[in-house]
Amino acid sequence: MNREELAGRVLQLLTDIAPDVDAATVIPGIDFRDQFDFDSMDTLNFAIALQRELGVEVPEAEYASLASLDKCVEYLQARLH
């Protein structure tokens, strides 16, 4: 999966767990929390989705790596390769 494909996959997972988020408006460099009130429940659901769909288990201590789309993609690229 190249970076673009991975970003698309992450966005899909994001809107699966938070269907009230508009994927088209997500700004990659800004934290989800500041864009659409992403909270601890969203983060946990997101981590569960990443484990289930991509097989990547994100330890709680590394949740900060999931804070924005850019951070997520960077983190997942490192974990997937």
Partner 1 sequence: MPSEFRLPALGADMDDGTLVEWHVAPGDRVKRGDVVAVVETDKGAIDVEIFLDGIVKQILVSPGTRIPVGAVLALVETDVAAVTATGAGTDTAAPISAPAATPAPAAVVPPIRTDRPRISPAARRRAQELGVDAASLQGTGPGGSVTTADVERAQSTVEPSQRPAPAAVAEGAEKAERSGMRAAIAEAMSRSKREIPHYYLSTTSDVTPAVTWLASHNASVPVAQRLLFAALLVKAVALACRTHKGFSGFYRGGGYEESAAVHVGVAVALRGGGLVAPAIMDTADKTLAAVMEDLRALVTRARAGRLRASELAAPTIILTSLGDAAVDAVFPIIQPPQVAIIGAGAVAERPWVVAGSVVPRQVLTLSLGADHRVTDGRLGAQFLAGIAAKLADPASL
Binding stretches for partner 1 (CB under 8 A): 15-16, 18-24, 33, 36-37, 39-41, 44-45, 47-48, 51-52, 57-60
Smallest separation, CB 59 to partner 1 (Å):
7
Nearer Cβ to partner 1 (17/73): 17
Q: Alpha helices, DSSP H only, in the chain?
A: 3-17, 32-36, 40-54, 69-80
Smallest separation, CB 61 to partner 1 (Å):
8
CA–CA separation, 48 and 3 (whole Å): 21
